[in-house]
Chain A
Amino acid sequence: KQEVTQIPAALSVPEGENLVLNCSFTDSAIYNLQWFRQDPGKGLTSLLLIQSSQREQTSGRLNASLDKSSGRSTLYIAASQPGDSATYLCAVPNSGGGADGLTFGKGTHLIIQP
């Protein structure tokens, strides 16, 4: 059964720093990997989806990379801002493209200090 691990569990950094969040998964036979953001008490917002054939995906100050062979993904946040404070979750499909749901990591709780 797929297991997803995120390190670190929590991170607090000053505004303006570049930072990296890590995600690892045990079964490399994935179709894609998603990064989500969750604000306190809210639902999840999709940030980036990387297909298995891609090495990375970018959206604004966010860049996600995927290394299937090593079972790892990273989310890079450039020039962090207080508004980036949230919990970041990575997830992989249970099978196929996600029709059977996703397996999530437990998240990285990020605090950006003004």
Chain B
Amino acid sequence: DVKVTQSSRYLVKRTGEKVFLECVQDMDHENMFWYRQDPGLGLRLIYFSYDVKMKEKGDIPEGYSVSREKKERFSLILESASTNQTSMYLCASTSAGALETQYFGPGTRLLVL
């Protein structure tokens, strides 16, 4: 069964802290994504990756970075957390090609105080 897991369901951090959100998929997918979801704004793409060591900016990359050292793992890093980064963060993966659906993890709800 397809599975995308995220390291935490809920996270509370303080302003200025460095925050790591981890995502792991077990489907040998090439492509991985980080989105954030906010009321009234919907889902927005932060960063994505085509392959190991590759990363591309999405629509709202400011304040974030990513790391993909292994194919199955894609990390989202908040270098210095701010209150406007309080959100639901969703990781997804898909295999290369136009015929494949995206599989989502359960999400991490991050609160920055």
Q: Which of A's residues lie within 8 Å of B, judged by CB?
A: 31-32, 34, 36, 41-46, 49, 51, 89, 91, 93-94, 96-107
Within the assembled complex, what's the spacing in Å between the Cα atoms of A33 and B58? Answer: 19
B106 x A43 contact (CB < 8 A): yes
Contact check: which of A51, A100, A105, A106 meets B48 at CB < 8 Å?
A100
Question: CB within 8 Å of A: which of B11-53?
Answer: 30-31, 33, 35, 40-43, 45, 48, 50
Contact check: which of A34, A93, A107 meets B42 at CB < 8 Å?
A107
**A44 to chain B: which residues have CB within 8 Å?**
90, 92, 104
Question: CB within 8 Å of A: which of B42-95?
Answer: 42-43, 45, 48, 50, 56, 58, 90, 92, 94
Within the assembled complex, what's the spacing in Å between the Cα atoms of A101 and B102? Answer: 9
Is B113 an interface residue, CB under 8 A from the partner? no
**A31 to chain B: which residues have CB within 8 Å?**
98
Q: Which of B's residues lie within 8 Å of A, judged by CB?
A: 4, 30-31, 33, 35, 40-43, 45, 48, 50, 56, 58, 90, 92, 94, 96-107, 109
Say how far A3's CB is from chain B's closest CB, in angstroms: 11
Pick from A42, A43, A93, A96 the residue with the most CB of B within 10 Å. A43
Closest to B30 in A: A99
B42 x A104 contact (CB < 8 A): yes
**B109 to chain A: which residues have CB within 8 Å?**
41
